[in-house]
């Protein structure tokens, strides 16, 4: 029965992370997975999260099922974070929301929902994008053709806005789905400007595309939750653009392993009666067969941080701490490369935003960094800046300098 099964060739950040863990070299540096590390390179529990757990008195909590939709309190708070209080007042039951198994769960449910109920011919993914987007659409919506729109200009390491608009203008069909990263694009760290977002919204509206925002880094691009929600809120101002938001709390609350997230679908506000409730029923239905409902513990913690004013204030400081340290590491790496007069230009490291830098290092250079210097990054040249510390940044810069000079 199983003898004909081909083994899976493990790839991606988690497979490389296993190789990293097995590497006995004491100089090794992990720049792989997008998970925050403190100044000493250790996982960090947010101060707001630690305090939330105290207020929950977790030893007294029961372990009942959540309702299929998830935690109602979390969903209300999560929706407010995406759409903002003011705009939400116009929503009038037009938004469907369910709690999901973080961003991956939200992306999976919306892919299935799109294939079953919206029937887009194509899903347009940015080139490049988070590698899991390809698998998620393969597994959950095999009848929807995957297309890629240009996102990155390799020559000058910029966001390829012209290329994106041209291809979508020419090739996207009415009712196609399109995936957009709400902020801090993974892996490039390049986001559209507000003016560019406005043009993207006009195009999506004119072409009647079903937009899916992947929002995994709210608070990480600018350090400010509202500023990072700008693009999603701008789309919401169009009463007829219908779009989904896959919201992850893994990064901004540091709740990686707890799998806390939500999926929101903003349906047309001119539809009567509003379609929110009906869409929500279908999302619940899809998720029921995958995992019944999302888990409870992380939802309790996230809800406490989002809803208790003192914890929410602490959270804002936590976000500033994390995004501030990442920015400082961008600058430190850039400065070292400049001091070393490393071949090429490196301004892009400080200009990109979020957890990652798309360094422009080639696959053979990445392989050499790993084999010779035990510095681990993705073959695409993406580094997670979280893995840099004051203690290793000089070493990493010297290693990059050597492989670039070779
Ligand atoms: C990453 O891109 O490193 C993270 O989003 C972790 C993951 O799931 O791939």
**296-344 pLDDT, tens digit each:** 999 999 999 999 999 999 999 999 999 999 999 999 999 999 999 999 9
Q: Mind listing the domains of the chain with CATH numbers? A: 12-46+312-405 (3.90.1150.10), 65-307 (3.40.640.10)
Question: What does pTM read for this prediction?
Answer: 0.97
Residue 130 Cβ < 6 Å to ligand 1:
yes
Q: Which residues contact 155 (CB under 8 A, 6 or more apart)?
A: none
**What's the average model confidence in pLDDT over 388-392?**
98
- DSSP code per residue over 306-370: HHSHHHHHHHHHHHHHHHHHHHHHHHHHHHHHHHTT-SS--HHHHHS-SSEEE----HHHHHHHH
Catalytic residue chosen out of the listed positions 176, 228, 251, 318: 251
Residue 132 Cβ < 6 Å to ligand 1:
yes
Q: Under a CB-based contact definition with an 8 Å cutoff, are residues 67 and 287 in contact?
A: no
Three-state SS sequence of 84-126: CHHHHCCCCCCEEEEEEEHHHHHHHHHHHHHHHHHCCCEEEEE
Catalytic residue chosen out of the listed positions 130, 230, 315, 346: 130
d(CA 98, CA 291): 13
Nearest CA to ligand 1 atom 4: 34
| φ, ψ at 213 (rounded to 5°) | -90, 130
34 Cα to the center of ligand 1, angstroms:
5
Q: How many CA atoms within 13 Å lie on the side-chain side of 348?
A: 24
pLDDT tens for each residue of 225-237: 999 999 999 999 9
Q: Is 376 helix (H, G, I), strand (E, B) or coil?
A: strand
pLDDT for the residue 225: 95
The percentage of the chain sitting over the pLDDT mark of 70, rounded to a whole number, equals 100
**What's the average model confidence in pLDDT over 114-143?**
98
Determine whether 28 is an active site residue.
Answer: no
- If one counts every other C-beta atom within 10 angstroms of the C-beta of residue 238, the result is 16
d(CA 108, CA 137): 7
Check pLDDT > 80 for residue 355.
Answer: yes
Q: Which residue has the higher pLDDT, 353 or 12?
A: 353
pLDDT tens for each residue of 34-75: 999 999 999 999 999 999 999 999 899 999 999 999 999 999
Residue-averaged pLDDT of the chain = 96
Check pLDDT > 80 for residue 406.
Answer: no
Determine whether 156 is an active site residue.
Answer: no
Residue 71 Cβ < 6 Å to ligand 1:
no
Q: What is the ipTM of this complex?
A: 0.94
In the chain the first and final C-alpha atoms are separated, in Å, by: 49
Check pLDDT > 80 for residue 279.
Answer: yes
d(CA 152, CA 295): 36
């Amino acid at each position: 029965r199983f003898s004909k099964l081909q083994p899976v060739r493990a790839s991606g950040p988690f497979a490389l992370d296993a190789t990293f863990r097995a590497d006995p070299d004491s100089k090794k540096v992990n720049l792989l997975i997008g998970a925050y590390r403190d100044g000493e390179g250790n996982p960090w529990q947010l101060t707001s999260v630690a305090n939330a757990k105290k207020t929950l008195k977790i030893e007294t909590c029961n372990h009942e099922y959540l309702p299929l939709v998830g935690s109602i309190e979390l969903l209300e708070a999560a929706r407010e974070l995406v759409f903002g209080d003011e705009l939400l007042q116009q929503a009038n039951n037009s938004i469907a929301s369910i709690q999901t198994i973080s961003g991956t769960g939200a992306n999976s449910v919306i892919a299935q929902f799109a294939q079953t109920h919206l029937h887009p011919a194509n899903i347009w993914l940015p080139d490049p994008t988070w590698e899991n987007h390809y698998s998620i659409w393969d597994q959950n919506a095999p009848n929807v053709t995957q297309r890629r729109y240009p996102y990155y200009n390799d020559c000058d390491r910029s966001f390829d806005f012209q290329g994106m608009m041209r291809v979508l203008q020419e090739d996207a069909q009415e009712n196609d789905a399109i995936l957009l990263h709400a902020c801090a694009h993974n892996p490039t760290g390049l986001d559209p400007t507000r003016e560019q977002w406005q043009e993207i919204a006009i195009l999506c509206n004119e072409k009647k595309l079903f937009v899916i925002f992947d929002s995994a880094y709210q608070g990480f691009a600018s350090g400010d939750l509202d500023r990072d929600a700008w693009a999603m809120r701008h789309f919401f101002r169009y009463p007829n653009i219908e779009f989904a938001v896959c919201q992850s709390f893994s990064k901004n609350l540091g709740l990686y392993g707890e799998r806390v997230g939500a999926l929101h679908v903003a349906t047309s506000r001119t539809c009567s009666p509003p379609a929110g409730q009906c869409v929500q029923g279908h999302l619940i239905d899809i998720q029921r067969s995958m995992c019944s409902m999302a888990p409870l513990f992380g939802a309790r913690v996230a809800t406490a941080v989002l809803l208790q004013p003192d914890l929410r204030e602490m959270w804002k400081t936590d976000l500033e701490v994390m995004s501030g340290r990442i920015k400082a590491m961008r600058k430190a790496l850039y400065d070292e490369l400049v001091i070393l007069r490393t071949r090429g230009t490196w301004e892009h490291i400080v200009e990109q935003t979020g957890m990652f830098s798309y360094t422009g290092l080639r696959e053979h250079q990445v392989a050499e960094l790993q084999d010779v210097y035990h510095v681990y990054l993705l073959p695409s040249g993406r580094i997670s800046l979280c893995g840099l510390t004051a203690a290793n940044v000089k070493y990493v810069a010297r290693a990059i300098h050597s492989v670039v000079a070779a």
